[in-house]
Amino acid sequence: MKIAIYSRGIGDDIKSQLAILLAELQKHDIRILLYAPLAEYDLSLRNNTSIDFFTGSHDLDTSVDCLVSLGGDGTILDTVTLVRDKNIPVLGINFGRLGFLASISKEELTTAVDALVNRTYMMDKRSLIHLDADPALFGETPFGLNEFAIHKRDISPMIKIHTYLNGEFLNSYWADGLIVSTPTGSTGYNMSCGGPIVFPESSSFVITPVAPHNLNVRSIVVPDNNIISFEIEGRSEQFICVLDARREIVDKNVQLAVRKEKFKMNLLLLNENNFLSTLRTKLTWGLDKRN
Protein backbone atom coordinates (compact mmCIF):
# COMPACT_ATOMS: atom_id res chain seq x y z
CA MET A 1 0.00 0.00 0.00
CA LYS A 2 1.21 3.52 -0.84
CA ILE A 3 -0.10 6.63 0.95
CA ALA A 4 0.64 10.23 -0.07
CA ILE A 5 0.52 13.03 2.53
CA TYR A 6 -0.19 16.68 1.72
CA SER A 7 -0.46 19.86 3.79
CA ARG A 8 -0.07 23.56 3.07
CA GLY A 9 2.41 23.94 5.93
CA ILE A 10 3.29 22.65 9.37
CA GLY A 11 2.42 24.43 12.57
CA ASP A 12 3.28 22.94 15.94
CA ASP A 13 -0.05 21.08 16.09
CA ILE A 14 0.35 19.51 12.66
CA LYS A 15 4.04 18.72 13.21
CA SER A 16 3.33 16.53 16.22
CA GLN A 17 0.39 14.80 14.52
CA LEU A 18 2.43 14.24 11.36
CA ALA A 19 5.02 12.38 13.43
CA ILE A 20 2.24 10.17 14.84
CA LEU A 21 0.81 9.57 11.37
CA LEU A 22 4.20 8.62 9.92
CA ALA A 23 4.87 6.22 12.81
CA GLU A 24 1.47 4.56 12.37
CA LEU A 25 1.97 4.13 8.63
CA GLN A 26 5.46 2.72 9.10
CA LYS A 27 4.12 0.28 11.69
CA HIS A 28 1.99 -1.24 8.93
CA ASP A 29 4.85 -1.18 6.38
CA ILE A 30 3.00 1.32 4.21
CA ARG A 31 5.02 3.16 1.59
CA ILE A 32 4.95 6.90 2.30
CA LEU A 33 4.97 9.67 -0.29
CA LEU A 34 5.34 13.02 1.48
CA TYR A 35 4.78 16.46 -0.04
CA ALA A 36 8.36 17.70 -0.43
CA PRO A 37 7.97 21.25 1.01
CA LEU A 38 6.93 19.71 4.35
CA ALA A 39 10.47 18.40 4.84
CA GLU A 40 11.65 22.01 5.12
CA TYR A 41 9.89 22.20 8.50
CA ASP A 42 11.68 19.08 9.77
CA LEU A 43 15.00 18.30 8.06
CA SER A 44 15.16 14.88 9.74
CA LEU A 45 12.45 13.76 7.32
CA ARG A 46 14.93 14.13 4.45
CA ASN A 47 17.15 11.52 6.05
CA ASN A 48 14.33 9.03 6.57
CA THR A 49 14.96 6.32 3.98
CA SER A 50 11.42 4.96 4.31
CA ILE A 51 9.92 8.21 2.97
CA ASP A 52 9.76 9.29 -0.68
CA PHE A 53 8.69 12.76 -1.78
CA PHE A 54 6.45 14.35 -4.38
CA THR A 55 6.28 17.97 -5.54
CA GLY A 56 3.14 18.00 -7.67
CA SER A 57 0.50 16.09 -9.57
CA HIS A 58 3.03 14.68 -12.03
CA ASP A 59 4.58 12.62 -9.19
CA LEU A 60 1.29 10.92 -8.34
CA ASP A 61 -0.09 7.95 -10.25
CA THR A 62 -2.63 5.18 -9.82
CA SER A 63 -0.25 3.24 -7.57
CA VAL A 64 -1.13 5.71 -4.79
CA ASP A 65 -3.95 4.18 -2.74
CA CYS A 66 -4.89 7.36 -0.89
CA LEU A 67 -3.84 10.96 -0.37
CA VAL A 68 -4.09 12.14 3.24
CA SER A 69 -4.81 15.86 3.60
CA LEU A 70 -3.66 17.53 6.84
CA GLY A 71 -5.41 20.86 7.31
CA GLY A 72 -8.86 22.31 6.81
CA ASP A 73 -11.37 22.42 3.98
CA GLY A 74 -9.10 24.75 1.99
CA THR A 75 -6.41 22.08 2.03
CA ILE A 76 -8.94 19.59 0.66
CA LEU A 77 -9.59 22.00 -2.24
CA ASP A 78 -5.84 21.99 -2.98
CA THR A 79 -5.86 18.21 -3.30
CA VAL A 80 -8.36 18.42 -6.17
CA THR A 81 -5.62 19.95 -8.33
CA LEU A 82 -3.18 17.22 -7.22
CA VAL A 83 -5.25 14.07 -7.76
CA ARG A 84 -7.05 15.43 -10.86
CA ASP A 85 -8.53 12.55 -12.88
CA LYS A 86 -6.27 9.86 -11.37
CA ASN A 87 -9.06 8.49 -9.18
CA ILE A 88 -6.92 8.74 -6.02
CA PRO A 89 -9.18 8.92 -2.94
CA VAL A 90 -8.62 11.74 -0.44
CA LEU A 91 -8.88 11.42 3.33
CA GLY A 92 -9.05 14.73 5.20
CA ILE A 93 -7.71 15.15 8.74
CA ASN A 94 -9.13 18.39 10.13
CA PHE A 95 -6.78 20.97 11.62
CA GLY A 96 -8.94 23.91 10.54
CA ARG A 97 -12.04 25.51 12.00
CA LEU A 98 -15.09 24.06 10.24
CA GLY A 99 -14.03 20.69 8.86
CA PHE A 100 -17.01 20.24 6.56
CA LEU A 101 -14.98 18.29 4.00
CA ALA A 102 -12.01 17.38 6.20
CA SER A 103 -14.34 15.67 8.63
CA ILE A 104 -11.93 13.42 10.54
CA SER A 105 -10.55 14.91 13.75
CA LYS A 106 -6.82 14.77 14.54
CA GLU A 107 -7.67 12.60 17.57
CA GLU A 108 -8.83 9.92 15.09
CA LEU A 109 -5.48 9.54 13.31
CA THR A 110 -4.86 5.98 14.52
CA THR A 111 -8.42 4.96 13.68
CA ALA A 112 -8.04 6.48 10.22
CA VAL A 113 -4.87 4.51 9.51
CA ASP A 114 -6.55 1.29 10.68
CA ALA A 115 -9.47 2.03 8.34
CA LEU A 116 -7.06 2.51 5.42
CA VAL A 117 -5.21 -0.72 6.17
CA ASN A 118 -8.39 -2.77 6.62
CA ARG A 119 -10.31 -0.87 3.90
CA THR A 120 -13.24 -0.28 6.24
CA TYR A 121 -13.82 3.30 5.12
CA MET A 122 -16.74 4.77 3.18
CA MET A 123 -16.23 6.46 -0.18
CA ASP A 124 -18.19 9.59 -1.06
CA LYS A 125 -18.05 10.59 -4.74
CA ARG A 126 -18.31 14.35 -5.31
CA SER A 127 -18.99 16.01 -8.66
CA LEU A 128 -16.76 18.81 -9.96
CA ILE A 129 -17.34 21.86 -12.11
CA HIS A 130 -15.30 22.47 -15.28
CA LEU A 131 -14.56 25.83 -16.92
CA ASP A 132 -14.19 26.24 -20.68
CA ALA A 133 -12.72 29.61 -21.61
CA ASP A 134 -11.27 31.33 -24.66
CA PRO A 135 -8.50 32.19 -24.01
CA ALA A 136 -7.97 29.23 -21.63
CA LEU A 137 -7.80 29.92 -17.88
CA PHE A 138 -6.34 28.09 -14.87
CA GLY A 139 -3.77 26.13 -16.84
CA GLU A 140 -4.00 22.34 -16.52
CA THR A 141 -6.62 22.50 -13.75
CA PRO A 142 -9.73 24.31 -15.06
CA PHE A 143 -11.99 22.53 -12.57
CA GLY A 144 -13.06 22.88 -8.95
CA LEU A 145 -14.90 21.09 -6.19
CA ASN A 146 -16.88 24.00 -4.74
CA GLU A 147 -17.72 26.65 -7.29
CA PHE A 148 -16.92 28.86 -10.22
CA ALA A 149 -17.52 32.56 -9.63
CA ILE A 150 -17.42 35.74 -11.66
CA HIS A 151 -16.72 38.90 -9.67
CA LYS A 152 -16.10 42.56 -10.31
CA ARG A 153 -12.68 43.93 -9.41
CA ASP A 154 -12.20 45.48 -5.97
CA ILE A 155 -13.29 49.08 -6.58
CA SER A 156 -15.07 48.83 -9.93
CA PRO A 157 -18.85 49.32 -10.31
CA MET A 158 -21.21 46.38 -10.55
CA ILE A 159 -21.15 44.28 -13.69
CA LYS A 160 -23.89 42.89 -15.91
CA ILE A 161 -23.69 39.13 -16.42
CA HIS A 162 -25.82 37.73 -19.26
CA THR A 163 -26.34 34.04 -18.47
CA TYR A 164 -27.47 31.22 -20.79
CA LEU A 165 -28.47 27.57 -20.32
CA ASN A 166 -27.48 25.47 -23.34
CA GLY A 167 -27.54 28.66 -25.39
CA GLU A 168 -31.01 29.73 -24.21
CA PHE A 169 -31.16 33.05 -22.35
CA LEU A 170 -31.70 32.68 -18.58
CA ASN A 171 -31.19 36.12 -17.04
CA SER A 172 -29.06 39.24 -16.93
CA TYR A 173 -27.65 39.75 -13.45
CA TRP A 174 -26.79 43.29 -12.36
CA ALA A 175 -24.56 42.42 -9.42
CA ASP A 176 -21.11 42.37 -7.90
CA GLY A 177 -20.77 38.84 -9.21
CA LEU A 178 -22.30 35.45 -9.88
CA ILE A 179 -21.64 32.03 -8.33
CA VAL A 180 -22.20 28.67 -9.99
CA SER A 181 -21.92 26.13 -7.18
CA THR A 182 -21.70 22.36 -7.09
CA PRO A 183 -23.72 20.52 -4.42
CA THR A 184 -20.52 20.33 -2.33
CA GLY A 185 -19.99 24.08 -2.67
CA SER A 186 -23.61 24.90 -1.81
CA THR A 187 -22.63 25.10 1.88
CA GLY A 188 -19.81 27.55 1.13
CA TYR A 189 -19.76 30.89 -0.72
CA ASN A 190 -23.18 30.11 -2.20
CA MET A 191 -24.77 29.76 1.25
CA SER A 192 -23.07 32.94 2.48
CA CYS A 193 -24.75 34.83 -0.37
CA GLY A 194 -28.19 33.47 0.49
CA GLY A 195 -28.19 30.51 -1.88
CA PRO A 196 -29.90 27.21 -1.03
CA ILE A 197 -28.16 24.14 0.38
CA VAL A 198 -28.51 21.02 -1.77
CA PHE A 199 -27.57 17.44 -0.96
CA PRO A 200 -24.16 16.20 -2.23
CA GLU A 201 -25.79 13.52 -4.38
CA SER A 202 -28.02 16.09 -6.11
CA SER A 203 -27.19 16.23 -9.81
CA SER A 204 -27.41 20.00 -9.95
CA PHE A 205 -25.74 23.39 -10.08
CA VAL A 206 -26.84 26.38 -8.00
CA ILE A 207 -26.65 29.81 -9.66
CA THR A 208 -26.52 32.59 -7.05
CA PRO A 209 -25.93 36.33 -7.62
CA VAL A 210 -23.57 38.26 -5.35
CA ALA A 211 -25.19 41.49 -4.07
CA PRO A 212 -27.71 41.79 -6.93
CA HIS A 213 -29.22 45.21 -7.59
CA ASN A 214 -32.73 43.75 -8.03
CA LEU A 215 -35.26 42.81 -5.36
CA ASN A 216 -36.73 40.06 -7.51
CA VAL A 217 -33.55 38.12 -8.33
CA ARG A 218 -32.96 34.90 -6.40
CA SER A 219 -30.87 31.76 -6.67
CA ILE A 220 -31.90 29.04 -9.07
CA VAL A 221 -31.10 25.32 -9.07
CA VAL A 222 -30.53 23.75 -12.50
CA PRO A 223 -29.65 20.21 -13.63
CA ASP A 224 -25.90 19.71 -13.98
CA ASN A 225 -26.24 18.36 -17.52
CA ASN A 226 -26.64 21.99 -18.64
CA ILE A 227 -23.82 24.05 -20.12
CA ILE A 228 -23.95 27.49 -18.51
CA SER A 229 -22.36 30.31 -20.51
CA PHE A 230 -21.81 34.00 -19.80
CA GLU A 231 -21.33 37.37 -21.46
CA ILE A 232 -20.00 40.22 -19.31
CA GLU A 233 -20.70 43.94 -19.54
CA GLY A 234 -19.28 46.65 -17.31
CA ARG A 235 -17.45 49.95 -17.11
CA SER A 236 -14.25 48.19 -16.16
CA GLU A 237 -12.34 46.34 -18.86
CA GLN A 238 -11.49 43.47 -16.52
CA PHE A 239 -13.16 41.26 -13.95
CA ILE A 240 -12.20 38.29 -11.76
CA CYS A 241 -12.78 34.57 -12.42
CA VAL A 242 -12.56 32.24 -9.43
CA LEU A 243 -12.34 28.45 -9.17
CA ASP A 244 -12.49 27.44 -5.52
CA ALA A 245 -9.59 29.38 -3.92
CA ARG A 246 -7.84 30.18 -7.23
CA ARG A 247 -8.44 33.36 -9.19
CA GLU A 248 -7.46 35.05 -12.42
CA ILE A 249 -8.07 38.58 -13.69
CA VAL A 250 -9.45 38.47 -17.24
CA ASP A 251 -10.68 40.84 -19.94
CA LYS A 252 -14.43 41.27 -20.18
CA ASN A 253 -14.54 39.97 -23.77
CA VAL A 254 -13.38 36.48 -22.73
CA GLN A 255 -15.74 33.63 -23.62
CA LEU A 256 -16.80 31.59 -20.58
CA ALA A 257 -18.88 28.45 -20.05
CA VAL A 258 -19.10 25.90 -17.24
CA ARG A 259 -20.25 22.30 -17.23
CA LYS A 260 -20.01 19.21 -15.09
CA GLU A 261 -16.53 17.70 -15.07
CA LYS A 262 -16.14 14.24 -16.62
CA PHE A 263 -14.52 12.77 -13.50
CA LYS A 264 -15.32 12.98 -9.79
CA MET A 265 -13.41 13.39 -6.55
CA ASN A 266 -13.46 10.52 -4.05
CA LEU A 267 -13.63 11.54 -0.39
CA LEU A 268 -12.97 8.87 2.23
CA LEU A 269 -15.02 8.81 5.44
CA LEU A 270 -14.64 6.70 8.58
CA ASN A 271 -18.37 6.10 8.83
CA GLU A 272 -21.46 6.62 6.78
CA ASN A 273 -21.95 10.27 5.98
CA ASN A 274 -25.16 11.72 7.38
CA PHE A 275 -25.51 15.05 5.63
CA LEU A 276 -28.29 16.33 7.90
CA SER A 277 -26.23 15.51 10.99
CA THR A 278 -23.28 17.38 9.48
CA LEU A 279 -25.48 20.43 8.86
CA ARG A 280 -26.58 20.43 12.48
CA THR A 281 -23.13 19.92 14.02
CA LYS A 282 -21.03 22.05 11.65
CA LEU A 283 -23.47 24.81 10.65
CA THR A 284 -25.77 24.70 13.70
CA TRP A 285 -28.73 24.02 11.39
CA GLY A 286 -31.98 24.48 13.31
CA LEU A 287 -30.20 25.34 16.57
CA ASP A 288 -32.57 26.99 19.05
CA LYS A 289 -30.98 27.92 22.37
CA ARG A 290 -34.43 28.18 23.94
CA ASN A 291 -34.73 24.37 23.83
User: pLDDT tens digit string along 138-183?
Assistant: 999 999 999 999 999 988 889 999 999 999 999 999 999 999 999 9
> Is there a contact between 131 and 258 (Cβ–Cβ < 8 Å)?
yes
Do 147 and 239 lie in a common domain? yes
pLDDT at residue 291 above 70? Answer: no
Give the domain extent around 78.
2-121+270-283
Do 87 and 7 lie in a common domain? yes
Q: Is residue 290 part of a domain?
A: no
Do 137 and 254 lie in a common domain? yes
Do 28 and 115 lie in a common domain? yes
Query: Across 87-101, 131-145, 272-286, which has the greatest mean pLDDT?
Result: 131-145
Tens-digit pLDDT profile for residues 214-264: 888 999 999 999 999 999 999 999 999 999 989 999 998 999 999 999 999
Do 62 and 158 lie in a common domain? no
Among the listed ranges 34-38, 41-45, 62-66, 197-201, which one has the minimum average pLDDT value?
Answer: 41-45
Q: Is residue 90 part of a domain?
A: yes
Confidence of residue 273 (pLDDT cuts 50, 70, 90): low
Q: What is the CATH number of the domain that holds 277?
A: 3.40.50.10330
Do 201 and 133 lie in a common domain? yes
pLDDT at residue 29 above 80? Answer: yes
Q: Is residue 207 part of a domain?
A: yes
Q: Is residue 289 part of a domain?
A: no
Do 275 and 249 lie in a common domain? no
pLDDT at residue 275 above 90? Answer: no
Q: Are strands 122-134 and 143-144 parallel, antiparallel or unpaired?
A: antiparallel
Q: What is the 3-state secondary structure (H, E, C) of the chain?
A: CEEEEECCCCCHHHHHHHHHHHHHHHHCCCEEEEEHHHHHCCHHHHHCCCEEEECCHHHCCCCCCEEEEEECHHHHHHHHHHHCCCCCCEEEEECCCCCCCCCEEHHHHHHHHHHHHHCCCEEEEEEEEEEEEECCCCCCCCEECCEEEEECCCCCCCEEEEEEECCEEEEEEEECEEEEECCHHHHCHHHHCCCCCCCCCCCEEEEEEECCCCCCCCCEEEECCCCEEEEEECCCCEEEEEECCEEEEEECCCEEEEEEEEEEEEEEECCCCCHHHHHHHHHCCCCCCCC
Instruction: State the pLDDT at residue 147.
Output: 97
pLDDT at residue 15 above 90? Answer: no
pLDDT at residue 131 above 70? Answer: yes
Do 220 and 275 lie in a common domain? no
The CA distance from 149 to 241, in Å, is: 6
pLDDT at residue 39 above 90? Answer: no
**What average pLDDT score do residues 112-123 get?**
91
Q: Is residue 288 part of a domain?
A: no
Q: Is residue 52 part of a domain?
A: yes
Residue from 61, 73, 78, 134 carrying the catalytic annotation: 73
288 is catalytic: no
Question: What pTM value is reported for the model?
Answer: 0.92
Q: Is residue 137 part of a domain?
A: yes
Confidence of residue 43 (pLDDT cuts 50, 70, 90): low
Q: Tally the domains of the chain.
A: 2
